[in-house]
Structure 1
């Protein structure tokens, strides 16, 4: 990211240059020299800096929260550049929040007070995790960092880095290796455990983290595994904020708006949500004072997000791709696509959702469509449609199955599955432009979909994805009609969508 500016008048962002910031920038009003790192965060990416670190920054404005600063940790050689930038900037960075109406909020985030680069000093990271000040070890390590088999959900013992960490407890590579080494040290020193808090977008992320860490520790040190099971807490949480990858234009914007140079700023949407199970073993920040929500059970909140936001993304992504659109905002700005999405959310998703404390579902759905339409957050449909085989069983097919079991309509979701078949088979939109299809199951998807012209249920033969949908006549009757319409010469997805929304003869 590090693009340096030659303009000598532009100051680099650091603690000293805060005094020169324009008044419209929200800078840390608290004394950063008094902040201690009660949280060690592994995997400092854009999402962490737009989400958890932002919540802590807000909390630190309240006196008495000084023990909840963040020490970042980079485990990978690829994190060296980020370490260099953050160190040079006194661990400060700018957050540019872009509202759908074009309004921009500018904040300098000061909640990170240190960053440890593990490849240079592994023991320093283990010691920091084991330090009595460390109350929470939080994670954004992506789904791949949890080291589970995507088919079985079980721990992957064959990963070479895991084999290294099991056999070399003091020379770890993975997050599990570092966490186990630190917990072993705390156990030996008679210190209590810290809470391990996943902030990744994984269903039941705390349960997954616990299962994986216990599987790892049991292989390395059975007594340690038992101690972790008895002492460490792993709260589940639902996280939400769209945060695109930082670009050169974000760096340029900060120079223009602030008059300072930030080599790694973050841009994000204005919406943010964090719902956390209140189960911590060594205290926690009052995140609810900064806009987060503590609950007994996060599951229904996860279900709401996955069935509305994530499935909504897939509805727009697949239908929009077939039509020839390129981004989410472009797709949902088309009134027909917005109408289709809202009908899907209202008629096929909402009947399956619980009423949740603090959530008005109608307002949540309104907000989703507003977020998707944000012209300042360009989210590509190829990213949204990537790995659909891993996403759609949870996001969309679960809703179809629940509606079939209740005898409810599934026609809107069924067209999305038919569009996925067309997308996987043709690899191009209806204008003949090539689509970028990214999926671990791409060859299986293509092979099944390619048989559709001779067997219009062929795509549904992938039972690992679709279960028994190919035997459910309430589903297959719609699916056959949709596939036949999509594969007809000179077919148009918009005409098919209109017909599904308002079936002829009704």
Structure 2
């Protein structure tokens, strides 16, 4: 079977339209670090829109900091891939051509540095997951115990981390008399722009105080909030798309109709005239907080409770009335901790979220969402818990979600089937829980785990009691039993 590529475009069905621009004339004004399915279904689509609108400065050079997998998917396809937008019985396919080249950084560190330092590069976007910033989740400071970051603290000749690449490239731009690029974190971190800026400035200052001052004065790290559900592509998806296209597309992505990108209007270099789905604003934090605590918080609760119950997909979890009730109650609790912008109708947003979760064609896997929980829980669940405790409010739903995460660390679901706990702190968490014999002991071990739990929560008696209650319930009655008990409270 032939692969999707420039030479096979003529073989595509008539309802799949190729890019409306001359790809050979495109200049790459964007470098994206962390090429994966989410970027290909979100930011790359936004830049593809700009190219289709006639501004050919916004091609993308993408980079992987680890695996060559995406490069090996895309390079034989000349960077082309299809995006399937699924909504119930409706499916639309669009060909995306914005990604012009993929660099595997460990193989070609100098190529990535050259792309970042190029005068054509105006924007750098990042989707490297929470752990990619090499920050301590509790303090927000650089995690100097990380071996890759430790190497970058010694030398930036061949960087190993995203902050390392940014600092090294900004040093090259400064030496060449170029303006910095605008660096935009697109990960689900609270105050993601400030965190990226602090990581870059701290690392820069360890090497060159003058460089750090230059970045602080001239650089830009806008806050952002991104939202689109992008489930992992399966071999079955690729087989179905191959049958539809008549050529094989190993880089395809699938997603929902909804796309949102809220960006703080703070750029130090050129930017495109963003189109549909992008909102420039003076304050991203209220949007970010609502998304983290409503969409992402609910997703985490669904993932751990559903995963423990042996349920594979989000929409299947929500087919249980008791799970639906739990999500609504979690939203009731989280909503009281928000300061939503005037443009955000929270009731309408909640209805829209439930409809998105119910989309059966996305087949969003609970185990995909469950990854890297130690990096996600502080902002998704522990922050609203802290706010409600401070206000003297209950935390039943939020603590049930956290208790499910604690139970998830056992690596065994309610039927006894095993799974990998995919988390950068999995070994440390397992060590902390190893000698805990009772639910109360396990809760105490987690509350004292300061890499995840902030100090103000560690000694809270109400949280301890609530977590112990729900963890006991999950361990004795299973996740479904705990959800049924939650309904009856």
TM-score w.r.t. the length of structure 2 is 0.87
Closer, same or farther: CA 153–357 of 1 in aligned 2, 3 Å:
same
Mapped pair 1:153 → 2:143: no
1:59 aligns with 50
Deviations 1:263-300 (A, max 9, x none): 3222223332211111110121122x131111112111
- Number of matched pairs: 484
Q: Does 1:179 align with 2:166?
A: yes
Q: SS at the partner of 2:63? A: strand
Question: Aligned match of 2:352 in 367, 383, 396?
Answer: 367
Partner Cα distance (1:350, 1:433) in 2: 35
Q: Work out the CA distance in 2 between the residues paired with 1:492 and 1:121.
A: 48
Q: Identify the match of residue 68 of structure 1 among 58, 65, 82.
A: 58
CA contact (8 A) 1:72 1:112 kept: yes
Instruction: Give the Cα separation in 2 of the matches to 1:486 and 1:261.
Output: 44
Q: Partner of 1:315 in structure 2? A: 301
Q: Judging changes above 3 Å, is the alpha-carbon distance between structure 1 residues 375 and 116 closer, same or farther for their aligned structure 2 residues?
A: same
Displacement, 1:352?
2.0
RMSD value over aligned CA atoms? 3.1
Q: Secondary structure at the match of 1:12?
A: coil
- Secondary structure of 2:439's counterpart equals coil
1:96–1:106 Cα contact (<8 Å) kept: yes
Change (3 A) 1:445 1:324: farther
The reply to whether residue 112 of structure 1 matches residue 103 of structure 2 is no
Give yes or no for contact 1:268–1:377 (8 Å, CA) kept in 2: yes
Q: 1:278 to 1:255 in 2, by over 3 A?
A: same
Structure-2 change in CA distance of 1:486 and 1:37 (3 Å): closer
Structure 2 unmatched ranges of 5 or more: none
Question: Is the aligned partner of 1:339 residue 2:325?
Answer: yes
Superposition deviation, residue 399 in structure 1: 2.0
Q: Is the 8 A contact 1:424 1:442 kept in 2?
A: yes
Distance 1:95 1:420, change over 3 A: closer
User: 2:349 and 2:407 mapped to 1: Cα distance?
Assistant: 31
- Given candidates 9, 16, 20, the residue that maps to 1:29 is 20
- Report the alpha carbon displacement of residue 468 of structure 1 after superposing the two structures with TM: 6.0
Q: Deviations over 1:22-66 (max 9, x none)?
A: 222132112223221111222222211111101111222213x21
CA contact (8 A) 2:36 2:70 kept: no
How far apart are 1:304 and its partner, in Å? 0.8
Residues 457 and 470, structure 1, Cα contact 8 Å, conserved in 2 = no
Partner of 1:355: 340
Higher-Rg member (1/2): 1
1:392 and 2:344 matched: no
The residue number in structure 1 matching 2:314 is 328
Shift of residue 19, structure 1, vs aligned partner = 3.4
- Partner SS, residue 72 of structure 1: strand
Cα drift, residue 307 of structure 1 = 0.9
Q: What secondary structure sits across from 1:114 in the alignment?
A: strand
CA distance in 1, matches of 2:158, 2:475: 56
Q: Distance in 2 between matches of 1:478 and 1:261?
A: 51
Partners of 1:191 and 1:176 lie apart in 2 by 19
3-state secondary structure, aligned to 1:67? coil
Deviation at 1:15, TM superposition (A): 2.5
Shift of 1:476: 6.2
Structure 1 residues 401 and 145, CA gap change in structure 2 (3 angstroms): closer
Q: In structure 2, which of residues 364, 372, 397 is the aligned counterpart of residue 412 of structure 1?
A: 397
Which position in structure 2 is the counterpart of 1:452? 439
Displacement, 1:106?
A: 0.5
8 Å CA contact 2:59, 2:100 repeated in 1:
yes
Q: Which runs of 5+ in 1 are unaligned?
A: 6-10
The DSSP-based 3-state class of the residue aligned with 1:60 is helix
**Offset of residue 329 of structure 1:** 2.2
Report whether the alignment pairs 1:299 with 2:285: yes
Q: Which residue of 2 aligns with 1:223?
A: 210
Question: Counterpart of 1:17?
Answer: 8
* Match for residue 254 of structure 1 among 241, 252, 277: 241
**Change over 3 Å in CA distance of 1:476–1:150 after alignment to 2:** closer
Flag the 1:479–1:27 CA change in 2: closer, same or farther, 3 A: same
Q: Bigger CA drift: 298-307 or 369-378? A: 369-378
Residue 146 of structure 1 and its aligned partner are, at CA, apart by 1.7
After superposition, the Cα gap between the structure-2 partners of 1:410 and 1:88, relative to the gap in structure 1 and judged at 3 Å, is: closer
Offset, 1:416: 3.4
Name the SS of the counterpart of 1:303 in structure 2: helix
Partners of 1:160 and 1:387 in 2: CA distance? 18
Q: 1:264 aligns with which of 251, 271, 275?
A: 251
TM-score by length of 1: 0.84
Shift of 1:105: 1.4
1:402 to 361, 366, 387: 387
Is contact 1:382-1:436 (8 Å) kept?
A: no
1:91 aligned counterpart, secondary structure: coil
**In the alignment, which residue of structure 2 is the partner of 1:92?**
80
Equivalent residue of 2:254, what SS? strand
User: Is the aligned partner of 1:188 residue 2:175?
Assistant: yes
- Cα gap change, 1:421 to 1:18, in 2 (>3 Å): closer
Q: CA deviation at 1:480?
A: 6.2
Specify whether residues 322 and 48 from structure 1 end up closer, same or farther in structure 2 by C-alpha distance, changes over 3 A only.
Answer: closer
> 2:276 is matched with which residue?
290
Cα distance in 2 for residues equivalent to 1:399 and 1:234? 25
In structure 2, what is the Cα distance between the partners aligned to 1:42 and 1:426? 31
- Indicate how the Cα distance of structure 1 residues 382 and 357 shifts in structure 2: closer, same or farther if over 3 A, else same: same
Mapped to 2, the partners of 1:314 and 1:280 lie a distance apart of 33
